[in-house]
Amino acid sequence: MNLICPTQIWKMLIILGLALFGVGCSPVAGSGPPTDYEVGEVIRGEDTFGTFYLYVPTTGSAKPDIVVLVHGTPAEEETAEATARYYLLNWLDFAEEQGLVLIAPAFNQEDFSSRKGDHALGGYRGLFGRQIAADEWVLRLVRAYQESFGTSGRQFYLYGHSAGGQFAARFLVTHPEVVNRAVISSAATYPQPDPNVAWPFGMGELQADVEWDQDTIKQVDVVANKEKWLAATQIPLTMIVGLNDTSSLPQFPGQQGRNRLAIGRNWVRDMAAFAEANGLECQFQLEMVPGKGHSMSGLMSYTQPALVDQMEID
């Protein structure tokens, strides 16, 4: 017979009380992200899996649409948090004009690195993450706020620049059912509709160990769903690249071209051919901007109008 001493009983009662009343408990993976906000205020949110920034406009309906802003790789001297906040601040006027909610997740280097190369298979660019997949974290944030606004199940709008554009392209072919319209600017690689090229650069299967640090190695098994890739071609997407964005890039698997301009143009072409071969007309379009290089803010006057083109706001 196992006897429980009085001290153990008290400990059990304390733990039970904390569980019942939510006192002193750290966040767990099953708990949702915070959904507090103040209209017209930039909010810094702390979720179990990272920091994000939120803006709810003073205009628009009581059930607003959401735009997810995905930042590029932070500069060496910048943090992901600072970069995500910078993106959001640049889109505040747009949010007010259109009555749209902005969510900008901060893909930090520890959990979503885009600087570790093959050790993390591109990090959030390839939809990977140390604790949670980058795409699943975005869905978690969006769904929490949609539930708060009473818009659960509604499609949202997606924008990504540079590494964020790589994320957006891969998110489209993985979750086409949740995206209403998307804009990508200045990405360096894309998921090619080629089953002979492994993910994250193509439609081929990927089985690998993703090393985040010496203590965190995750096994991944990615199998493409052709029907989702075809559905992605039916999403209105505008690809925007500056005509001066011609710096030579390393050659990645399946990518057609040596700079962002050529690679982006050829991906749009290849996705159109993929759709046509399957009896569909691709809804992607390419916009090449004269006099512009690799700059989120420099292309903003083109990316924002492209996102609202044909947009229906409730």
pLDDT digits (tens, 9 = 90+) for 295-311: 999 999 999 999 987 55
| Spatial separation of the C-alpha atoms in residues 39 and 256, rounded to whole Å | 45
**Which pLDDT belongs to residue 207?**
94
Mean pLDDT of 122-128: 94
**Which pLDDT belongs to residue 10?**
38
Mean pLDDT of 109-137: 88
Q: Is the dihedral of CA 135, 137, 140, 145 positive or negative?
A: negative
**135 Cβ contact list (under 8 Å, min separation 6):** 127, 167, 170, 171, 174, 175
**Which pLDDT belongs to residue 27?**
38
The answer on pLDDT for 26 being more than 80 is no
- Closest Cα partner for 34 from 128, 140, 179, 112? 140
Q: Could you tell me which residue, 289 or 121, shows the higher pLDDT?
A: 289
**Which pLDDT belongs to residue 119?**
67
| Spatial separation of the C-alpha atoms in residues 153 and 100, rounded to whole Å | 17
| Spatial separation of the C-alpha atoms in residues 138 and 253, rounded to whole Å | 26
Pairing assessment for the beta strands 179-185 and 156-161 based on DSSP bridges? parallel
Task: Identify which of 20-24, 27-31, 70-74, 207-211 has the greatest average pLDDT.
Answer: 70-74
DSSP secondary structure letters along 35-63 = ----TTSEEEEEETTEEEEEE--SSS-SS
For tokens 């906000």, the residue is 37
**Which pLDDT belongs to residue 117?**
67
Residues 220, 239: contact at Cβ < 8 Å? Answer: no
**Which pLDDT belongs to residue 114?**
74
Pairing assessment for the beta strands 101-105 and 50-55 based on DSSP bridges? antiparallel
**Which pLDDT belongs to residue 313?**
46
The answer on pLDDT for 160 being more than 50 is yes
Q: Could you tell me which residue, 26 or 303, shows the higher pLDDT?
A: 303
Q: What digits encode the pLDDT tens for the residues 216-265?
A: 888 999 999 999 999 999 999 999 999 999 999 999 999 999 999 999 99
**Which pLDDT belongs to residue 17?**
37
Q: What digits encode the pLDDT tens for the residues 238-249?
A: 999 999 999 999
Provide, rounded to the nearest whole percent, the portion of the chain with pLDDT above 90: 78
CA dist 118 → 71, 111, 121, 263 (Å): 20, 15, 4, 20
**Which pLDDT belongs to residue 309?**
78
**Which pLDDT belongs to residue 311?**
54
Q: Which domains does the chain have, with CATH numbers?
A: 34-308 (3.40.50.1820)
| Spatial separation of the C-alpha atoms in residues 261 and 112, rounded to whole Å | 26
Please give the model's pTM, rounded to 2 decimal places.
0.88
DSSP 3-state assignment of 286?
Answer: strand
The answer on pLDDT for 109 being more than 70 is yes
Tokens of 256: 């057609």
Please, which pLDDT band fits residue 11 given cuts at 50, 70 and 90? very low
| Spatial separation of the C-alpha atoms in residues 84 and 73, rounded to whole Å | 10
The answer on pLDDT for 21 being more than 50 is no
The answer on pLDDT for 7 being more than 70 is no
| Spatial separation of the C-alpha atoms in residues 59 and 264, rounded to whole Å | 35
Please, which pLDDT band fits residue 314 given cuts at 50, 70 and 90? very low
Tokens of 180: 């209403």
Q: What digits encode the pLDDT tens for the residues 171-196?
A: 999 999 999 999 999 999 999 999 99
